[in-house]
Amino acid sequence: MISFAILLLLPLVSVNGEDYKIECSFNESVLVLLPDNLLPPSYIARIRSYGETDEVDFFVEKRSSKQYWLTRTGNNTTDHIGIGQLNVTFNDLKCNGFANISEVQPLYQIDSESKKILAFDGFSISSLLEAIKRNFKGNNASKVVNFGGVEAVKWVGCRNSSKEKNITYQVEVTFAGNKTKQPYSPSVKNPVLMAIRLLSFNITGKPILLGSTAFDVIYVEATTSVENDLPEGMFCRNMPETTLPSVFPEQFEAFFAYHFSESRSFHELQASLVLYDNTEHIIAFNFDANDTLVPFFGNVSQFVSTAASHLTIVHDFVYGTQFVFDESKGRCIDVAGIDTKFNDTKLNETSGEILLKSSIDIFLNLTQSSFYYSGQRTVDNVIYDVYTSSFKSMEDGRVVELLFSVQSKEKKSQNSALFSVALYDKNNSNNKPVFTTQMTGFHGLSSTHFDELSAYTESCMTSFGTASLYVSVNYIHISDLAKIGLPSIKWALRKKIAKVAGISLFRVGDIYFDEGNATLLALFTLYNKTSVASETSKHFKKEVTLEEAVQNINDTLLKDDITIVVEGLESPMKLLRSTLQLMPEAWSPPVSPSSFSGYSGGSMFILATFTLILGAVVGGGIVLFLWKRERIGMSYQVFQ
């Protein structure tokens, strides 16, 4: 049978200069229960813990109904534990998942005597309060004390050992009313926990302190949710594998930044852009020319000596061509066959053909593509789901994190949108990132960026010969260019012309529109094929000459209109049949020959007036002639 004790002042016990007052005896009294709401259902708390020694541990605890996270700092180490949605333990050097909480060493430690009577898991201060409620009862003599300059109530719970009658356990819980200087009373609805002290005594003869553990609650705040606190780039072993919400799209663009050490911030680097189109088999990178090693791409040291500040490299895997140009100065640096040493290129050793790697192979570069769910992270006040993978063969040499939008999941979209990819290459000795790459801003391939890219490649093509042409366009007007956006229309026109001509997208350029007399005119330039030796790719197409490209377009337009679907236009745009023309050196819109369109009202009025006058003159002349004739006849008769 469990027996409880009540308040009775007994001698002081002094240990290491600190006095411990025994306040328990076995006289009966009215028992007082510990308040139920000393901590909110969800909270963030900062706690200091110490025992009989001088060692002090500091805790940060975050708890909600579904999960809680605990951080302990002490003895020059910091340990973390998460329970709920994620079950992990981690510190600066390692992280491990666990399936059963019994496998985990608790972070909150209490003295060995208190462990005998308290079924405390060691993971939450709220669970310690529950253990105290189950095992202790208070008395009606709880008194007001001054705790840290605040008036508070010290609730004292006592019980005797069921096995050893000379052992007494004493619990002191100190709390105060919320937002009031008055001590706790039944009229105060929100008591605030301030401290917990666990004591055990041997009361045979002179009392002896057997165990002591104290928890001071420095700060507590109610919260609505608890965020996962797994550090960026942390890989945890023994985590259950899962399937990614979605994969890389076949067409996308994104920005990436990178640095080589922790001393260099992402914000100090110019954002670099990657365009990936596995439908057209094209990829493009632009990057800071001062860096010889570009993430996802490889070593570009051969182009660094070109005095460029920002380089762009384009690989066209259909025609096997590589373009290198200086974006900042708009000049072409090199045109050649695709260099197979770059990381975006996959070489078939048997056939000798090259192929654009999949986006996962390029941007994740994983030999083991298994991922696990590692909680949520807030970026710029937006919550994302985090998925993590690692090179198992490299012992955490590289850690990959993918962030997916939670909002798209809430909207029940088919796939969660990929927000960012982060790659952490680490030093195995201290688990610190030595090279970090981050890609963000994933979205569909932009016609604006591709139009800018094509404008740059034009500087590499002009030296091979050009042909400037124009053609009449129907079902589109100048107002549509502003409404839909010129880049989108130019991108659709470029793809169609290149397909009809049988040439690379980068051999169609200098596209613009002008108004003709009856229709809109599309003007564009075709470039001759390059003189470089192209690499043979899986999707390789042989380049045709400039004359053949022009002839292909002309032959098609002699047969029928060319229809071009543009997103945003209600009706497809059409290049009109038999309207292809070579552009003159001095361009001006062609003038259509004039044709009769009828007389104006003024012209008809003048014509009628002159007709009336002429009729009057002719009529008068006839009358005069007849009159004269009659007079001459009469005169002849008189003469006779």
Task: Give yes or no for residue 60 having a pLDDT over 60.
Answer: yes
DSSP conformational letter for 537: B
374, 86 contact by CB (below 8 A): yes
Q: What is the CATH number of the domain that holds 360?
A: 2.50.20
3-class SS string, 6-54: EECCCCEEEECCEEEECCEECCCCCEECCCCCCCCCCEEEEEEEECCCC
Helical spans, DSSP H, in 356-411: 359-363, 406-410
Q: Verify that 214 and 260 share a domain, yes or no.
A: no
Within a domain: residue 307? yes
More confident of the two residues 623 and 370: 370
Q: What is the CATH number of the domain that holds 556?
A: 3.30.70
Domain end call among 390, 412, 443: 443
**Cα torsion 352, 355, 360, 364: sign:** positive
Within a domain: residue 133? yes
DSSP SS3 for 477: coil
Structural domain count, the chain: 3
With b meaning 16 or more CB within 10 Å and e meaning fewer, what string describes 536-547? ebeebeebbebe
More confident of the two residues 24 and 146: 146
- Find residue 78's DSSP bridge partners: 73
In degrees and rounded to multiples of 5, residue 607 shows phi and psi of -65, -40
Within a domain: residue 8? no
pLDDT band at 185 (very low <50, low <70, confident <90, very high): low
Task: Give yes or no for residue 496 having a pLDDT over 90.
Answer: yes
Q: What is the mean pLDDT of residues 488-493?
A: 88
Q: Verify that 149 and 196 share a domain, yes or no.
A: yes
Q: Verify that 261 and 372 share a domain, yes or no.
A: yes
DSSP SS3 for 170: strand
Domain end call among 416, 443, 470: 443
Q: Verify that 577 and 494 share a domain, yes or no.
A: yes
Task: Give yes or no for residue 393 having a pLDDT over 70.
Answer: no
Q: Which two tokens stand for residue 132?
A: 């105290």
266, 259 contact by CB (below 8 A): yes
Confidence at residue 501, expressed as pLDDT on a 0 to 100 scale: 93
542, 495 contact by CB (below 8 A): no
Residue 449: CB atoms within 10 Å: 16
Q: Verify that 308 and 424 share a domain, yes or no.
A: yes
Q: Verify that 438 and 466 share a domain, yes or no.
A: no
**Backbone angle region of 233, left / alpha / beta, with phi > 0 → left and psi within -120 to 50 → alpha:** left
More confident of the two residues 415 and 425: 425
Q: What is the mean pLDDT of residues 140-167?
A: 80
User: Out of 7-21, 33-47, 343-357, 432-446, which region has the weakest mean confidence (pLDDT)?
Assistant: 7-21
391, 366 contact by CB (below 8 A): yes
Q: What is the mean pLDDT of residues 218-246?
A: 83
Within a domain: residue 29? no
Residue type, 79: D
- The Cα 262–Cα 258 span in angstroms is 11
Q: Verify that 385 and 482 share a domain, yes or no.
A: no
pLDDT band at 177 (very low <50, low <70, confident <90, very high): confident
Q: Which two tokens stand for residue 269?
A: 């680097």
Residue type, 354: I
Within a domain: residue 68? yes
Within a domain: residue 61? yes
pLDDT band at 268 (very low <50, low <70, confident <90, very high): very low
Q: Verify that 392 and 425 share a domain, yes or no.
A: yes
Name residue, tokens 């006779």.
Answer: 640
Closest CA to 519 of 575, 563, 469: 575
Degrees, nearest 5: CA angle 246-250-255: 85
- Find residue 378's DSSP bridge partners: 383
Q: Verify that 75 and 192 share a domain, yes or no.
A: yes
pLDDT band at 560 (very low <50, low <70, confident <90, very high): very high
- The Cα 64–Cα 223 span in angstroms is 8
Q: Verify that 295 and 437 share a domain, yes or no.
A: yes
301, 341 contact by CB (below 8 A): no
Percent of all residues in the chain with a pLDDT value above 90, rounded to a whole number = 16
- The Cα 211–Cα 4 span in angstroms is 19
Q: Which two tokens stand for residue 437?
A: 């790459």
Within a domain: residue 581? yes
In degrees and rounded to multiples of 5, residue 479 shows phi and psi of -65, -30
- The Cα 334–Cα 134 span in angstroms is 79
Helical spans, DSSP H, in 90-182: 112-115, 125-135
Confidence at residue 55, expressed as pLDDT on a 0 to 100 scale: 84
Name residues whose C-beta falls within 8 Å of residue 90's C-beta, 6 or more positions apart in sequence: 79, 80, 96, 230, 231, 234, 236
Within a domain: residue 177? yes
Closest CA to 254 of 391, 383, 327, 362: 362
Q: Quote the domain boundaries for residue 553.
A: 461-587
- The Cα 419–Cα 576 span in angstroms is 43
Confidence at residue 9, expressed as pLDDT on a 0 to 100 scale: 41
Task: Give yes or no for residue 68 having a pLDDT over 90.
Answer: no
pLDDT band at 426 (very low <50, low <70, confident <90, very high): confident
Q: Verify that 333 and 414 share a domain, yes or no.
A: yes
Q: How far apart are the first and last CA of the chain?
A: 180
pLDDT band at 547 (very low <50, low <70, confident <90, very high): very high
* Burial category of 249 from C-beta neighbours within 10 Å (exposed 0-12, middle 13-18, buried 19 and up): middle
Q: Verify that 410 and 310 share a domain, yes or no.
A: yes
The average confidence (pLDDT) of the chain is 79
pLDDT band at 559 (very low <50, low <70, confident <90, very high): very high
DSSP conformational letter for 121: -
Closest CA to 123 of 147, 148, 98: 98
Top mean-pLDDT range of 21-25, 95-99, 212-216: 212-216
